[in-house]
Structure 1
Amino acid sequence: MTNVASPVAVVTTMDGRRPYGTTVSAFASLSLAPPMVLVSLDDRSQQLAIIRRTGRFGLNILSTRQAALAAAFARSGPDKFEGVAWSPSEGLPRLPDSAAWIAAEVDDYISAGDHTILLAQAVTAESAEGSPGPLTYHQRSFGTHTPLAP
């Protein structure tokens, strides 16, 4: 699967007043009517346990300028937001300068191996005007997408 390029996002949620987040590359657009996304999270993650309680999450689709942020949220530990600027949006942690933002409410949880797939309706979806484009992950490296010439 390292030969498949995928977009990179940080899934965020709130546990009371404390923000949580984790980097994912397993997410996709699922449906236009209604607007839905899918996200896959490790069954052992604290993030998944919180989302199961709240039924909501934010999806910060990272821009090419946010590789360091992707790496920071990919590590283990509870203090991933330490020193990271964020603001509440729809009651969820939103990271500045992301290529796009989605606030979602979970419709269903599907067990799949050691992960759970979240099927969720997008409550809010916004793309950043003038964004340099989405961050991608390919062959264990962060990169960018470059369109082919017509």
Structure 2
Amino acid sequence: MASVPAPVTVVTTAVDGIPSGATVSSFASLSLDPPLVSIGLIEGSRLLRDIRRSRRLMINLLSHDQENAALQFASRAEDRFLGIGWTWESGLPKLDGVASYAECVVESDLPAGDHAMIFCKVLECRLTDTPPLIYGARKFGTHSHFMPA
């Protein structure tokens, strides 16, 4: 499955004013009415624990030039936000310079092997003209014919 291209997101949340986040490539759009998306997170991760507490999250779809942010949020660094531009948006961490972002609330949380599937309702979404970052065949890139809507 590593050869299947996927969007690169950094999913963020906050508990008691402390931000947490991780790089997530298991992200998909599910429904327009109501607007639903899904993410897959490994059981036992700090991000999953924090999302289960807060029940809210921000999906930051990285832009084509944010490979370093993807790598930093995929690392085991204690403070993954260090040196990354971000702001609070509706009480959630939103990364600067992303291609798009969506503020979400958890609708359901289901076990899926060693992961959990989190189904979220999109409350707010913003798009830019910036091409997104994708990951496939263990390489970062962007769609060769990306044309913003």
Alignment TM class, shorter chain as reference: over 0.9
CA distance in 2, matches of 1:33, 1:117: 20
CA distance in 2, matches of 1:54, 1:29: 21
SS of corresponding position for 2:71: helix
When normalised by structure 1's length, the TM-score is: 0.94
Q: CA deviation at 1:16?
A: 1.3
Kindly provide the CA deviation profile for residues 93-144 of structure 1, in whole angstroms up to 9, marking residues without a partner as x.
Answer: 000110001000001001000000000000111102x31x110001111111
Which residue, out of 131, 136, 145, partners 2:143?
A: 145
Q: CA deviation at 1:15?
A: 1.8
CA distance in 1, matches of 2:51, 2:118: 9
Assess if the C-alpha contact under 8 Å between 1:6 and 1:136 holds in 2: yes
Mean CA deviation greater in 84-93 or 99-108: 84-93
SS of corresponding position for 1:146: coil
- Flag as ranges the 4+ runs of structure 1 deviating above 3 A: none
Which residue is 1:89 aligned to?
89
Which residue is 1:21 aligned to?
21
Which residue is 2:3 aligned to?
3
CA distance in 1, matches of 2:127, 2:25: 18
Assess if the C-alpha contact under 8 Å between 1:106 and 1:120 holds in 2: yes
Which residue is 1:120 aligned to?
120
Q: Give, as a single letter, the amino acid of the residue that structure 2 aligns with 1:18.
A: I
Q: CA deviation at 1:85?
A: 1.5
Which residue is 1:60 aligned to?
60
The number of residues matched between the two structures is 146
Q: CA RMSD in A?
A: 1.1
Identity in percent: 40
Unmatched segments (≥5 aa) in structure 1: none
CA distance in 1, matches of 2:2, 2:106: 28
CA distance in 2, matches of 1:145, 1:25: 15
Which residue is 1:75 aligned to?
75
Assess if the C-alpha contact under 8 Å between 2:15 and 2:53 holds in 1: no
When normalised by structure 2's length, the TM-score is: 0.95
CA distance in 1, matches of 2:97, 2:81: 15
Q: Given the alignment of the two structures, is residue 108 of structure 1 paired with residue 108 of structure 2, yes or no?
A: yes
CA distance in 1, matches of 2:109, 2:58: 16
Which residue is 1:51 aligned to?
51
Q: CA deviation at 1:73?
A: 0.3
